[in-house]
Structure formats: structure tokens, C-alpha cells
Structure 1
Amino acid sequence: MSTGAEATAAGGDRSGDADVHVTSASCKGFCSVRHGLALILQFCNFAMYIQNVNLSVTMPAMVNGSVPPCPANASDARDACNGTLPGPWAAEPVYDWGPDIQGVILSALNYGSFLTSLPSGYVAGLFAAKHLIGAGLCASSILSLLTPCAADAGAALLIALRVVQGVAQIVVVTSQYEIWLKWAPPLERNQLIIFSISGGMLGAFSILLVGGFLCETLGWPSIFYISGGIGCACLCLWFPLVYDDPEHHPFISARERDHIVHSLAQQERVPYRSLPIKAMMKSLPLWSILVSHFSVWWHFSIVVAYLPTYLHSVLAIDLKDSGFLSALVMAAIFVCTILGGLLADLLLSRKVLPILVIRRLFTAIGVLFSSVFSVLLSWVSGSRGVALAFLVLSVVPGSLCQVGALVNFMDIAPRYSGFLKGLSQIFTSLSGVIAPTVSGFFISQDAESGWRNIFLLSAAINLPGLVVFLIFSRADVQEWAKDEALTRL
């Protein structure tokens, strides 16, 4: 958001023209093209996140088998065990991959996204976001459909496929923020962005809830076919219904188009060919955002990687129930993320709090709840009910950071939002690689003290990151993001 746009959004004199006020008032609500765009983007993130985690869900079946035990006296059962019975009970391939190979395969997706975060963020600011997102989702969906064939060909080809898929997915992640620079009025930007990216949590909930069932009934390849098919179905909505700006959308009403255009009238948006690299490196507000991405995602990476393990090994919940509870936690995160975006826009539109206070407040709530209740978990594990309550309180409020530090880059440099999202994704990926590795080391040393050390270290990383953000964060467009940069990339 530009400074002028923020002042407009905060309730200043938006326009001397009375028609603008009528247009703005008439365009409130959820029955609009821009909210339909948010719904389609949510569907895109839903499909992409299922494709992201589908291999994690299927890996146990791929290395251990997913065919039910053979009954003793049944000729058709013997045929099924021999793989000759068509349908859901047909035997699926089982691969002899050790833990080391499995680790490389599961992390291959992160290699692709880590290596191309910056280039994809730069490209996102140069080309039409619609085509970049569509191409990225299309490539990821096709590769998901080809995953069972790649697994049959060998681990090396599967690893290569997942690396390329990670590249395709990071293009979708970095490009979608460019869409909202032309579609989201300042007063609605929080809710539209948060609603669209919440599809990731909805995808995690869905795959955790039904993934095991699909492996046991239809076989593990079905998950890749279904996730790829969902992505292809999303593309059927994306290309005909999505446009890069409201001016060229054929189905938008004149009132809504004028409302969006007038609300963004003072926001400059010029395509860039160069980047102010030196100024970015010296920008303390930008560094506060990057540090927050690393610290906030440290705790969330541990939750994603070890939540079922913690429920099973520490709270003695069986694997089936632990998967179900993990899915419920993801559903709670999804709801909290949506409500956080709506609340942030409500506070902003009614001039209760300025945008900078909203960013800092939501980040502080998310980090403090995560840190305090995760540390307390080590002392209440003897009571399953209390431990589950503390676990939820240590995870779900952290999603409020999505309305805080994790979207703050659009405030300080909307012009470079795609590039900065790619830059922040590097810190997110770095945290996602280090945190589970360190946690695994602690657990391998001693299970009881290991979990305590994991939570203490998480708090020790989260709290300094919060302090840095509270001190150095800003919500106005920085000087280096206003003028043409002279420093070439």
C-alpha cells in the first residue's frame, strides 16, 4: 500500500466526488468478482498444497505396502494378493527405499523452491500473474499425475520430478500476491489475501483426514491422480474466469470496477526492470520481516513435521486418532486465519487501529501464545486433556502472524511484492529445513528431555524475532520502493 492509499484507507478524504462514496458503499459484501477471485485462488492453494504433501502421506504405503492382509480361505483373495484382482484391492508397488533415500525424496520439493524463490519472485513482477500462476499450477498438476510412473522408474527420477515440481509451486506462491495489487482495495486487502492463502491449511486438513483411507482402499497412486486431477479442474476455472486487472474483466459490474480503481488511484504500480538491492540490504523494516519469517516458521515447521509423532509418542494416542486430531488442528488454523483477516480489516476500516499497530499486535499475539503454551507443554504432558488444549493454543493463534509480519512486505514495498515474497520464502524454507533436523536430533538423544529442549529452543528463536519486528517494523512505503532503482539485479 502506498502512503496515500493508506491515508485513504484509514478514513481520510477519499474523494471530493460523491459518486465515489456511493460506489464504495454499494460494493461492500462478499458477492463480488474480487471475492470470487479470492475463492478461485483459495482453490488453487488447496490443490497445490495437496500436491505438496501427497508424497508425505503416501510414503509409508510406498515402502511398507497398503494392501490389506490376505484371508486364508478365499480364491479371489489369493488372486488379490497376487495382484490379479482389478479395482481398489489390486496390489500396488512397494519400493525398497531406506530412511536416507526417503529423506532425500521428501525434501526434494524444498530444494526446487529454495533455489528458485528469488528468480521466480523477480519474474512475478515482470509478467502477467495470471499466466504465471496458471503455468505453475498446470506444471505441478501434470507432475503429480506422473509421480507413480516416476517412482516405478526409480528414486533418482522421482527426486528430479519433485525438484521441478517445487520450482512450479514456488512460482504460484510468489505470483499470487501480484494479483491483489490490482484487485484488492486497501480496506479489504487483509481479508482477500488471507482468505486465498488459507486454502493451504484447508488442503492440509483434507489430505491428513482422507489420505490414509485412500491408501488403504484405492491404493497409494490414487492420491497422486486425485491431487493432480483437482489441480487440472482448478485450471478450468482459472484461465476463463481470472483476469490480471478489473478494467479488462468482462463480467465485473461497473460499480465494482470503479470502486476498485478509485480505491487504488493513489497507488503507483509500475513494472520494474531493476531492483534496489543495496537499499533493500540496508532496510531494517525489510530485515524485521525476514527475521520474522524465519522465527515464526520455525515453530510451525516443527508442528507440521512432528505433530502426529508427538500425539502418538508423548500423549499415547494411536496413529489413526493422531492423524484425525492433526487434521482437526489444521482445520482450526484455517478458521483462525480467516477470522484474523476479517478482524484486521474491520479494525482498519473503522479506524480503531492504524495498519502498523495491527501488524505488530497480531504478530505479538501469535508469537506469544505459541511460545508460552509450547514451553508449558513439557510440564502438562501427564494430563492428556490439558496437553491437547495447550497444544492447540500453541499452534492455532500463531496463524494470526499471517495478518502481521508475514504480509507486511506488501505495506513497505508493494511494487516489489513478488520479489520480496520470494526473498522471504528463502528464510521460510531455511527454517523449514533446520527446525525438523534439530528437533530430530533432540528426540534421538532423549525422548522426554528432547521435547522440552525443542519447545524451549522454539521459544528462544520466536521471542527475539518478535522483538526485532516490534522495534524495526514499518507499514509505510519505503523510499527505495518509490523511485526507479539504479542497481541492476
Structure 2
Amino acid sequence: MPQPNGYSINSAPLDKSEDIEPLIENDAVPPQCCSARLNLAFLMFLGFAVVYGLRVNLSVAMVAMVNTTDPKPSQNTSIIHACPLPAGSENTTDTFPQPEGTPQYPWDSETQGWLLGAFFFGYLCTQIPGGYLSGHFGGSIFLGLGVLGTAALTLLTPLAAQMGSYWLFALRALEGFGEGVTFPAMMAMWARWAPPLERSRLMTLSGSGANFGAFLALPLTGYICQTLGWPAVFYLCGGAGCLWAVFWFIFVSNDPRTHRRISEEERDYIINSIGSQGTGHGWSVPVLPMLLSVPLWAIIVTQMCSNWSYYTLLTSLPTYMDNILHFDLQSNGFLSALPYLGAWLFSTLSGVVADSLIERKVFSITNVRKLFTLAGVLPASALLVAVSYAGCSHILTVTFLTLSTTIGGATASGVYINQIDIAPRYAGILLGITNTFGTIPGVLAPIVTGYFTKDHTLAGWRMVFWVAAGINVGGALVYTIFGSGEIQPWAGTKEESAEAKKDRSRSIST
């Protein structure tokens, strides 16, 4: 029985009894190797690696920036450690030595939580405007400026920290403000660049740069902090972002029609396979139908729930490695990075498998998105709970965390790219909407974690992991019930509406 959603968004209407075929036959598809669309995915991959490095470097550097994890203990009490300290470190007052003259600050756990969450206050503000403007004008300028602006502001981090925690909070919020446009701009660009049968692999490849960036930034931050001092982290990361922006503005175009180095064969393939959905949506968007769309709300709820666990680990895992397991700063960064190496590899692989299942008509787009969401969420949540019972075992903790985040990478081919399935023309603004709601956990999770873990106990961290896992599973169930991969009625173009009317007229006349 043919799937109702089809596999090419502009294929000719067929009778329901006919099999749905791709618009472009396999032997007519230009190779991906060295293609303009693959080069775009690779540049996006590097861009998101940079911005996620800029986002997470404070998580590790924070351990070096504060002079103690509990700067104001009571005079008549001693700190009780949840796990035993490594041999020879009981009498050490400076666990993470810095080069001479490197400043450190007396920030308590609550202040650190607010600083780690500050980024997301700004990040919330530009998601929807960024998606809307990217859908109208094209996403390349917004993605490029988003990365460049965030990188330039990162260079000011040491100065802001020296001026005080309020200044650093404001700077991180401004960085989030600049970076907020990047993911909506990416989605708007792929709406014009990604053929329907290649969406999963191209989008997961480019988006997996986020996990790769976290994987690189976490250990490198620890190493740089110990060798050059924590201010060097922000100078080097900011400089890398500025360098990337140069290549982006030279080699990238909003649309295959205006790309200077694309082959005619590839350009025609992309334009013909995407059809009228690969154009800008103009100034007007169907706001009310969007707000009433059940599949869109399913994405919103699921991303909010899934992001709670993701942001909890992204911002607080280095603190857990420090306060509970007492890893040194360099080991802390490396072990905190392992989960993101697995997620990077798993998400990229999931994109290839998802496209294959859709192209071979094994499952509909709807079922593929739900399958990969459940496959990524349920085992990952169970392993997250297992972390809370690993106690002081370094091996079990690192193993469970790595497996949890690795398997969670499968959701990259599920709910996280579903916006482009249900409304390709409006994918940028839809991702802006879903990411705005999905960023709320980025604000709340570090604050809640700081509240649960203010006494640095295993019981407090157990609450952190249980809450994250429970919220994650709840979101997956909502998506399984209400999610969809079909283009929504309000997302059609004028050309598609006219064609549908002609089809109905032909059906009546016959």
C-alpha cells in the first residue's frame, strides 16, 4: 500500500492505487561527492562545531575560573565529599593550578548556574525573527553573521569576567542573542538546497557539527586552561569563529540558482526535486494555522523535553566530573567530551539509514521520524537513570553517559528535522519557533541543577538525572502519538494549490 505522504514534495499527483515514485530516478541523480550541496553541509558542519565550542567552553573553563567549588564554607565545618578524593589530593588547596597571574573568582554554585544559563536568555530572543528573515531573504547572511558575532563577543569574555559576574552574564546573553539565528538559518537554507531523498543525511551531517564541536572543545578547553590559562580558551575559540566566517562568506550562496560554482546538472536536480517549496515564503506566513497545528506542537513539546537532558549534560557534566568524581581538569574535559563523540558518529549514521528507509519505501516519512525519535530517547533515558546509581565508579559513570548520549544521537533523524517535512517553505521560522521553546530548558536546567546539587551530594545529582530522564521519555510519547511527516495543508504554495484544483476538476469531469 503506498504511503500517503509521498517521497517527492512536487511529484505529479497520482491516483491512490498507483505506487508513489521519486521524481528523479537514481541514475539521474548527480553524485554527492564534491558536490555543492555536500560542500555546503561540510561548511555548516564546521560552523556549528565552532558555535558549540563557543557555547560549551565556559562549562569547563568555569572549573578553572573559580578558586573553589564552595568558596564560603562555614568556619566550623569541613566539606564532606560525596566520593573519596584521589590519593594525595586531600590537603591540596589549589586542585586546578593556573599560570601565574591568571585571575580566579569566588562564584558559588548558584552564581555558576546563572552564568552557565545566561547564554540561553539571549538565544531565546532571536530564534523566531532569525527563522522568519532567513525564510524571506535566505539564510547564508544570518548564519554567517550569527557565528561571526558570537565569536567576536567571545573574545571579550576575560574582560567581562574581570569586571564582574553581572557583566559576564550580560556578555553571555549577547552571545546567545547572536547565535540564536544560526539553526533557523540552517533550516531555511536546506529548504532550498536539500533534495527530499537526501534531507536526513545532509541535515544530520551539518547539524552533527554541534556534537563534534562539543567533543573537541571540552578536552581542548581543559588542556588550554592548564597550560595557557583559562583566558586563552576564549581568545582561541573566538579567533577560530572569525576565521570560519571568512570562508563562509566567500564560498556559500543562499540558493542553488545563484551559486557560482555549482554544475548545471546538480542545480537542475536540486531545483526540480524540491520544486516550488524551494522558494522564499515572502513577508506573510500562516501564523494562526501554525499555532493550531498539532504536528508542530508535537515537535515543540518533544524538543523541549529532549533538550532538558541534553542541556543538563552540556552545561553541568564538567561540574559533576569535578565535584563528585574529582577528575583533574584535563581528564574532566576529555571524559566530558566522550559522549559527544559517540553522538556525532551515531547521528551522522542515522541520517544515512533514515534516507535509505524512506527511499526504499520501507517506512513512511512519518514512521521513520517516530522510529528514530523513540530509538534515540528510550534507551538514552534508561542509561541516564543508570548513571545516578553508578555511585563513585568512574568506569560505569563514563560508560553509561557515553552510551546514553551516543544512542540519543538517533533523534537527529527524527523529531529534530521534522519541521522541513511538514512545511518546507516555512522550515526556518518553524525551527525558530520550536527552538525558542526548546531553549527554555537551556535556561532552567542549569539553575535547577544548581539547586539540586548545592550540597554536592550523590542524592542531589540522582535527582538531576531522574528528572532529565523522565522529562525525556514523556516528550517521546507525545511525539509518537501526535507527530507527522506529511506536508500540512497550510504549508502549500499557490502553484500547488492551483495544481490541486486542476486535479479535482479533472476528477469531476471524468
Q: Name the TM-score, length of structure 1 as normaliser.
A: 0.85
Aligned positions of 1:266-305 closer than 5 A? 267=277, 269-305=279-315
Question: Which has the higher mean CA deviation after the structures are superposed, 451-460 or 344-353?
Answer: 451-460
Residue of 205, 220, 237 corresponding to 1:227? 237
**Contiguous gaps of at least 5 residues in structure 2:** 13-17, 69-97, 495-510
Which of the residues 24, 28, 42 maps onto 1:24? 28
**Contact 1:23–1:258 under 8 Å retained in 2:** no
Alpha carbons 1:360, 1:404 under 8 Å: kept: yes
1:343 partnered with 2:347: no
Contact 1:89 1:218 in 2 (8 A): yes
- Find 2:188's aligned residue among 167, 172, 178: 178
Residue 72 of structure 2: aligned partner: none
Query: CA deviation digits over 1:327-351, x for unaligned, max 9?
Result: 1221111111111111111222222
The answer to whether structure 1 residue 403 and structure 2 residue 413 are counterparts is: yes
Render the CA deviation track for 1:386-418: whole Å, top value 9, x for unaligned: 444333332211111111012111111122211
- Is 1:41 aligned with 2:44? yes
Residue 68 of structure 1 is matched in structure 2 by none
Judge conservation of contact 1:23–1:256 (CA < 8 Å) in 2. Answer: no
* 2:268 aligned partner, one-letter code: D
Matched, 1:143 2:153: yes
Q: Which amino acid aligns with 2:38?
A: H
In the TM superposition, what are the counterparts of 1:277-426 in structure 2 within 5 Å?
A: 277-311=287-321, 317=327, 319-381=329-391, 384-426=394-436
Aligned residue pairs total 457
Question: Which amino acid in the other structure matches residue 375 of structure 2?
Answer: I
Instruction: Tell me, yes or no, if the aligned pair for 1:61 and 1:94 is still in contact at 8 Å.
Output: yes
Alpha-carbon spacing, 1:380–1:226, altered in 2? closer, same or farther (3 Å): closer
Secondary structure of the corresponding residue to residue 115 of structure 1:
coil
How far apart, CA to CA, are the structure 2 residues paired with 1:382 and 1:219? Answer: 29
Q: 2:179 aligns with which of 146, 151, 169?
A: 169
Aligned 8 A contact 2:222 2:332 in 1 = no
Which whole-Å CA distance do the structure 1 matches of 2:272 and 2:198 have between them?
14
- Cα distance in 1 between the residues matched to 2:241 and 2:329: 29
Q: CA deviation at 1:253?
A: 1.4
Residue 131 of structure 1 is matched in structure 2 by 141
Q: Unaligned 5+ residue runs, structure 1?
A: 66-87, 485-489
The answer to which of 140-149 and 169-178 deviates more is 140-149
Gap change, CA 1:304 and 1:135, over 3 Å in 2: closer
State yes or no: 1:257 paired with 2:260: no
Are residues 361 and 168 of structure 1, via their aligned partners in 2, closer, same or farther at CA, if it must alter by over 3 Å? same
CA distance in 2, matches of 1:310, 1:135: 34
| Helix, strand or coil at the partner of 2:260 | coil
Deviations 1:196-230 (A, max 9, x none): 11111111111111112212222222212211111
Specify the code of the residue in structure 1 equivalent to 2:155: L
Deviation of 1:292 (Å): 0.4
* Among 53, 67, 73, the residue aligned to 1:50: 53
* Cα-Cα RMSD: 2.9
- Which is helix-richer, 1 or 2? 1
Contact (CA 8 Å) 2:137, 2:280: kept in 1 or not? no
Shift in CA distance, 59/438, structure 1 to aligned 2, threshold 3 Å: closer
Task: Give 2:33's aligned amino acid.
Answer: F
Specify the code of the residue in structure 2 equivalent to 1:332: G
**C-alpha separation between the residues in 2 aligned to 1:448 and 1:22?**
55
CA distance in 2: counterparts of 1:312 and 1:95, whole angstroms: 17
Q: Distance in 2 between matches of 1:350 and 1:196?
A: 23
Contact 1:11-1:349 within 8 A present in 2 as well: no
The secondary structure found in structure 2 opposite 1:353 is coil
2:477 matched residue in structure 1: 467
- State the Cα distance separating 1:382 from its structure 2 match: 6.7
Asked if structure 1 preserves the Cα contact closer than 8 Å seen for 2:271 and 2:278, the reply is no
CA contact (8 A) 1:408 1:475 kept: yes
Mapped partners of 2:21, 2:169: distance in 1: 56
Shift of 1:186: 0.9
Matches of 2:387 and 2:52 in 1, distance apart? 29
Partner of 2:505: none
CA, structure 1 residues 319+161, in 2 after alignment: closer, same or farther (shift >3 Å)?
A: closer
Deviates more, 1:119-128 or 1:6-15: 6-15
Note if contact 2:110-2:447 (Cα within 8 Å) is conserved in structure 1. no
**Closer/same/farther in 2, CA of residues 90 and 386 from structure 1, 3 Å limit:** closer
**CA distance, structure 1, for counterparts of residue 22 and residue 493 of structure 2:** 24
What TM-score comes out, normalization by structure 2 length? 0.82
Partners of 1:292 and 1:406 within 8 A in 2:
no
